[in-house]
Amino acid sequence: MAKAAEVAVSVEEVAAYFSELKDPRSEVNRKHPLVSVVTIAVMAVLAGAGGPTAIARWARLKAEFLARVLDLPHGIPSKDVFGRVLSALAPQAFQAGFSAWLTSLRAKAAGNSEGVRPVFPIDGKAARRTHDRQRGLGALHSVSLWAADYGLSLGQVACDEKSNEITAIPELLKLVDTQGAIITIDAMGTQTKIAEQIVAGGADYVLALKGNQETLHQGVVDYLDQQIEEDFANVTARRHTTTETGHGRAETRHYVQLPAPKSLPGCERWAGLKTIGIAVLICLRDGKETTQVRYFISSLELGVKQFARAVRIHWSIENSLHWSLDVTYREDQLRIRHQHLRENFAWLNRFTLSLLKQHPAKMSQAMKRRSCGWSDDFLLQVVTGQGS
């Protein structure tokens, strides 16, 4: 077990990440240091807290422990303090307060995956019970950027509903350094200005095609159908196939990537467009075969394995982030109805899940979270990175 002084120094270093966070409270209401309030909130959410009342309850039960590791001149803050602070902090400013911490985590994670371009999927998720019909507040819908290779949620922007993801994605891209990454987005985010912003940020894109870009989509389908019929005799095509078995099913994935023809409708409108691709998933389960076909445009050079990796990793935002938020954090049951509070809590969920994923223990994220509630030592390992 770490000595108290060593632990205090480590947690003080964590609290220092919030030193630039502007306190939204009036000076007369600053009885408890803002960095301590926010650090307690992070630790309590790691331990299983789901709102200001639970944060305060956990903090009271851990009063002796917290007094050792944080500056608490007036004891443990009340639930009203946590509620007021998390409601008053503007979500973008609150999220920006984690930037230095995320930079540190990202640098460490990137050091363990040298030589591989990171893939950053972007996708949206709703917290269905956060609506307030009496005040005309719809359910929180947030768009997240997930650093799949690192297990880090690097940014979040809230929007009113799924249709508003188109305006949320550009704001999200402004929050994150995407230099050198591959950005993947589903069909709703396949927009010319988003592609332009990605390329301007020094990244590449792999964008899915569906009906919202009907002319381009049909052009890619027709061109690929023609090349497939001719067995790619007249083009430079790259092909890759993978096969996996498990959980009672066999999955075969076929990927084809080829240069984007200048004859594609509106081709010149897409910044950096270099290649197009197709991914075909054939799944055999209980004797029944299903086929799923998806089409893409991309700024990537020819390199089908890199294209295939980006396409496959995109779905990790659903499987590794959204699924964990619903199962481990029960986010679909979140009933917070204050606009800023629910956005800030959604960010706390994403950030603390990122911390859990950095810890190397061979256990589920749900078990890691329980362990944070059971063991102060384990909680400190997760918060300070001592166990990773």
What is the reported pLDDT for 246? 82
Reported confidence tier of residue 330, pLDDT bands at 50, 70, 90: confident
Percent of the chain whose pLDDT exceeds 90: 64
* pLDDT higher at 331 or 238: 238
| Region of poorest pLDDT, from 44-53, 124-133, 260-269 | 124-133
270 closest CA partner among 339, 227, 313, 217: 217
Mean pLDDT, residues 286-291: 90
| Region of poorest pLDDT, from 102-111, 264-273, 290-299 | 102-111
Reported confidence tier of residue 302, pLDDT bands at 50, 70, 90: very high
Mean pLDDT, residues 258-284: 95
What is the reported pLDDT for 339? 74
Cα Dmax for the chain: 77
| Domains by residue range for the chain, with CATH | 4-89+339-384 (no CATH), 104-323 (3.90.350)
Please state, rounded to an integer, the average pLDDT across all residues of the chain: 89
Distance CA 275, CA 259 (A): 4
DSSP state of 144: E
What is the reported pLDDT for 54? 95
What is the reported pLDDT for 40? 96
157 closest CA partner among 172, 145, 146, 167: 172
What is the reported pLDDT for 1? 45
What is the reported pLDDT for 136? 58
Mean pLDDT, residues 339-360: 91
> pLDDT, tens digit, for every residue of 136-168?
556 677 899 999 999 999 999 987 665 578 899
- DSSP alpha helices (H): ranges in 267-375? 304-314, 316, 323-327, 339-358, 365-374
- What is the model's pTM? 0.88
Distance CA 97, CA 370 (A): 26
Strands (E), the chain: 119-127, 140-147, 152-159, 182-185, 204-209, 238-246, 249-259, 275-285, 288-298
> pLDDT, tens digit, for every residue of 67-106?
998 999 999 999 999 999 999 999 888 998 898 899 889 9
DSSP state of 246: E
CA atoms within 13 Å, Cβ hemisphere of 87: 11
Distance CA 73, CA 304 (A): 59
Distance CA 71, CA 86 (A): 19
**C-alpha 164: how far from its chain's center?**
18
Q: Does the structure show a pLDDT above 60 at 129?
A: no
Position of tokens 């704001």? 171
CB neighbours of residue 143 within 10 Å: 25
Percent of the chain whose pLDDT exceeds 70: 90
